[in-house]
Amino acid sequence: MNPSTLAINGGTKVRDDFLVYGAPLIGEDEIAEVVDCLRSGWVGTGPKTQRFQSMFAEYVGAEHAIGVSSCTAALHLSLLALGIGAGDEVITTPMTFAATANAIIHTGATPVFVDVDKTSQNLDSALIESAITPKTKAVLPVHFAGHPCDMTSINAIAAQHGLVTIEDAAHCIEGVHDGQHVGSISEATAFSFYVTKNLATVEGGMITTNNGDIADELRVRALHGMSKDAWARYSQSGFKHYDVVSAGFKYNLTDIQSAMGIHQLARIDDMSARRKQIWERYHEAFADLPIDLLALPTNGDTHALHLYQIFPRLEELSATRDEIVEAIQAENVGIGIHYRALSEHSFYQEELGVSSADYPNAKWLSDRTISLPFSARLSDDDVADVISTIVKVTRSFQA
């Protein structure tokens, strides 16, 4: 059998075992902290969450950090706390996960998509003003794959038109724009700690803000609208009655999740350095293949290195993106698709009246993007297997 024969065609697989896409690096410190949490009896929102919030606020340089159950919850709460509701419009990107748009819809507002820049995959700030109407109340940019958005331009436009800015930084914990850490720039910023993210607590998220009034509103809304959270009511400082002051949500972050986050955050620079090594190995290995690669910012911003994507040059290959994906996975290498643009999905087409033709750059990216394994957990052998697989599959489909 020719060793270059694809496994999907009966050839030998590059790997014997399947390499799971996005498996996080979890160390003994996280495990010990979770065990300590379980043994303490305090597994809900309590002292470890307080500690994690303080650490995170310091890390991004924000005045306040509020732990929540997911980035989706963070976006929803941030929109509500900043007064977004029924009849409002929020400008955002179609090149994102459904949660970004869904959080807007859950407030009663309407997402208004603006196409992206093909190089950064971020909201094209040059197109924002043309989408502003009398109903526009906010701009919600997404720092895609870890590439910081041009927040200087976006916030200048927002200020000129009296809009608020809420950042979706699910991909961008380590990002820095124009000397400011993402999370310290706008009215509110939402982060994700989902299992595939750069900092993983399995599920969970964080909202950062420099506005104390917004922070207070977020804390109340995150836990049923109660004026005092459980830690404040049942800690050794003394029992306190709570008062329900709004119709809040069950969006709080638990101490079990925060136990992981404490040590994930402590090692975030080391994990980022490992991903940078993998990035450089991938870039070098793929330089001569018929695929386009992500570019790092050239303006001095810090890319958070969340996704490593490749974009096959389909005009030079005898396969579609999905056929390439099937061939890669048949070699026992898992991949991700980030993302099918929201303008490609039936719900948003029907609900918002959009079509893929309206967003040509998002459509181009959506048809080609493939995310490769990129976790700090990957061994050198894992990285070599990914490289061998991409070279094998791409060369096999070259016209």
What's 121-152 look like in SS3?
CCECHHHHHHHCCCCEEEEECECHHHCCCCHH
Give per-residue pLDDT as tens, 111-155. Answer: 999 999 999 999 999 999 999 999 999 999 999 999 999 999 999
Average confidence (pLDDT) over 74-101: 98
The per-residue pLDDT for 227 is 80
**Has residue 345 got a pLDDT over 70?**
yes
Instruction: Give residue-wise pLDDT tens across range 169-224.
Output: 999 999 999 999 999 999 999 999 999 999 999 999 999 999 999 999 999 999 99
pLDDT of residue 234: 56
Contact 221, 81 (CB under 8 A): yes
* C-alpha dihedral sign at 329, 332, 333, 337: positive
pLDDT over threshold 90, residue 233: no
Kindly state the average pLDDT of the residues 246-275.
97
pLDDT of residue 231: 55
pLDDT of residue 209: 98
pLDDT at 242 over 90: no
Pair 308, 282: CB distance under 8 Å = yes
Question: Which pLDDT does position 241 carry in this prediction?
Answer: 79
Sheet of 308-312: strand order equals: 291-293, 308-312, 370-372
pLDDT at residue 47 in the model: 94
pTM over 0.75? The answer is yes
Sorting pLDDT into bands at 50, 70 and 90, what band is 243?
confident
pLDDT at 237 over 80: no
pLDDT at 359: 98
Per-residue pLDDT tens digits for 8-61:
999 999 999 999 999 999 999 999 999 999 999 889 999 999 999 999 999 999
Q: What whole-number distance in Å separates Cα of residue 65 and Cα of residue 50?
A: 9
**Which residues are marked as active site?**
197
- Cα–Cα distance measured from residue 245 to residue 255, given in angstroms and rounded to the nearest whole number: 24
Mean pLDDT, range 312-327, rounded to an integer: 98
Two tokens, residue 290? 């018929």
Mean pLDDT (the chain, rounded) = 96
**CA-closest candidate to residue 133, choices 187, 95, 91:** 91
Cα gap 178→150, rounded to integer Å: 9
Of residues 62 and 241, more confidently modeled:
62
pLDDT of residue 2: 65
For residue 261 the two structure tokens come to 């986050």
Return the pLDDT at 4: 84
- What are the structural domains of the chain? 7-23+269-396 (3.90.1150.10), 28-266 (3.40.640.10)
Helices (H) and strands (E) in the chain, counts: 14, 12
> Where would I find the H helices in the chain?
28-40, 47-60, 71-81, 98-106, 128-131, 151-161, 212-222, 230-234, 255-266, 268-286, 321-330, 346-352, 360-368, 380-396
pLDDT at 285: 98
User: How many Å apart are CA 69 and CA 193, to the nearest integer?
Assistant: 9
On whether the CB atoms of residues 172 and 96 are closer than 8 A, the answer is: no
DSSP strand pairing (136-140 vs 89-92) = parallel
Whether residue 230 is predicted with pLDDT greater than 60 in this model: the reply is no
Q: How many Cβ atoms are within 10 Å of 153's Cβ, its own excluded?
A: 13
